[in-house]
Each structure stands twice: as C-alpha cells, then as structure tokens.
Amino acid sequence: MSEPILELEDVHAGYGSIKALKGISLKVYPGEIVTIIGANGAGKSTTLMTICNIVKAEKGRIVYQGQLINKVLSAKLPTMGLCQVPEGRRIFPRLTVKENLRLGAFFRNDTNQIMKDIEYSYDLFPILGERRNQEGGTLSGGEQQMLAIARALMARPRLLLLDEPSLGLAPLIVQQIFDIIKKINKEGTTILLVEQNANLALQTAGRGYVVETGKITLEDDARALLSNPKIREAYLGE
Ligand code: ATP
C-alpha cells in the first residue's frame, strides 16, 4: 500500500485542564474519504483543529506527506495542499462570493489559472455563479457551506478536512453537498470528514474511525461500521 498522506500517532491535545484528545492515532491514504464519527464533545472537531495547529498538540506526531507538521503555522498549511473547512463555515460576510473565492487562492499568483478555477467553482456550485457579486453574509446556510468548500478548493488541496458539512442544513441541500464531496474526491482530492450524521458519513466514506471521549475506539471499513450492531445502536439511532 502507498504511504499515508496523513498520519496521527498518539496525539494529545486540549484546552487548559480539559483533555480533549487522549492519544488519537489514525491514517489517511491518498485518494480515500475517511470519516471520524462520534457523539457530541467526543473530540472530532478538536482532532481537525489539532491537525491544522489551531489547537496545539501537547504530545504525539502529526505527519503530512512524510513531513512532521506539529509546528507548522496554520496559515502555511494551505500552501502545502492541506486545507480545512471549519465548522460554522467562517466565510467573509462583507466580501462578495467572488472575493471570498479569490481569497482562497491568496498565496497563488497564477492569475489566469485562478480565474479558471473560480469559473470551475461556478460549474461545481451553479448557485455560487448566480450569486457571484452578492455579499457572502447574505447567502443561505447551504450556500455559505458551498462557498466555504469552494473557497478551500481554490487552494488546490491534496487533503481537504471537512468539519460537519451537514450541520444545520435541510436534507436536500445536505445531499447536494455530499454528492459534490464525492465528486471532488473522484477528481483526486483526499478527504477527512468529521460528521455527527454518522449514517451519511459512513455512506460517503470508504473507512471510518469512531472517537469516544478523546480516544479512537474502533476503526473499520465504512460498510462494516454501518452494519455493526454496536454502531447502529450508538450512532445510527437504532
Ligand atoms: P461537536 O460535534 O459537539 O462539536 P466534537 O466531537 O467535535 O463535538 P470537540 O468540539 O472536539 O467535540 O470537543 C471535545 C471536548 O473539548 C469537549 O469536551 C468540549 O467541551 C471541549 N472543548 C471544545 N472546544 C473547547 C474550547 N474552546 N474551550 C474549552 N473546551 C473546549
């Protein structure tokens, strides 16, 4: 098998005296969609934020493309092809859709290609094309989620970290967004997906990790997790 694009080894992190991660180990291989599922407060978001060095790893190793990145500044990671779409979207509300997209390519200077990539965002999310001159803050929740994903893609990531893309959205919009996540993956971007909607996440991903109070308690093929009675009872509402 190829080398992992991302590997976490015994990662510990937290917020002051709160130990949110107590030894997380996981691997993501190139081309995969891997999901982390778990209950509220289990440590899913903290795992993504620690990978991006927004929360500091107190112990353990985070290796991306063979390089230890524990100490790499978060702002530098997109330039290395590692991008996060944080929970709650965090688009720039006073900038237009197009300006938000342009900012996703902040470190690039290939202007012609950037313009082509913006057009590609509009192919991927036609609604963003229609709203290109509208301020981000005036978009619906689903449109803001699409903009947040499209903006991350402007960095041409090799690995995209998605935090709860379904949060607060209507089922139809969620389905659209997950269809696009699969398309992005088919076109070559590896994806690490954090989701509370375990059913949807496991239908989308190839493999999954279950996190409980800061520890990985189970890892398996997504299909096996979907049919695992314990998972069905704990996370799929059965
Ligand atoms: P959710 O889906 O509810 O966001 P999660 O699995 O993503 O859950 P985290 O947000 O990673 O969970 O939270 C892990 C633990 O860290 C929880 O106990 C949470 O209360 C705590 N925590 C998260 N953010 C902070 C913070 N900024 N300050 C203090 N504690 C925090």
pLDDT digits (tens, 9 = 90+) for 56-73: 999 999 999 999 999 999
CA atoms within 13 A on the CB side of 47: 35
Residue minimizing CA distance to atom 3 of ligand 1: 40
Q: Is the CB of 17 under 6 A from ligand 1?
A: no
Q: Cα of 87 to ligand 1 centre, how many Å?
A: 12
- If pLDDT is split at 50, 70 and 90, which confidence band does 168 have? confident
* Alpha-carbon gap, residue 152 to 237, rounded angstroms: 32
Whole-number pLDDT of residue 202: 96
Residue nearest to ligand 1 atom 30, measured at CA = 15
What's the whole-model pTM score? 0.94
| Residue 27: band (very low, low, confident or very high) from pLDDT cuts 50, 70, 90 | very high
**Confidence at 184, pLDDT banded by 50, 70, 90:** very high
* Residue 117 and residue 106 in contact, taking contact as beta carbons nearer than 8 Å: no
Please report, for residues 38, 85, 225, 237, the alpha-carbon distance to residue 234 in angstroms, rounded to integers and kept in the order given: 9, 27, 11, 7
Quote the pLDDT of residue 238.
66
Per-residue confidence band for 84, with pLDDT thresholds at 50, 70 and 90: very high
On the question of pLDDT at 227 being above 80, the answer is yes
Question: For residue 122, what are the contacts with CB-CB under 8 A and spacing of at least 6?
Answer: 128, 129, 132
pLDDT exceeds 80 at position 99: yes
| Model confidence at 1: pLDDT above 70 | no
Mean pLDDT across the chain = 94
Mutate to test the pocket of ligand 1, among 19, 22, 46 (most ligand atoms within 8 A of CB): 46
Burial classification of residue 238, based on how many CB atoms lie within 10 Å of its CB (0-12 exposed, 13-18 middle, 19 or more buried) = exposed
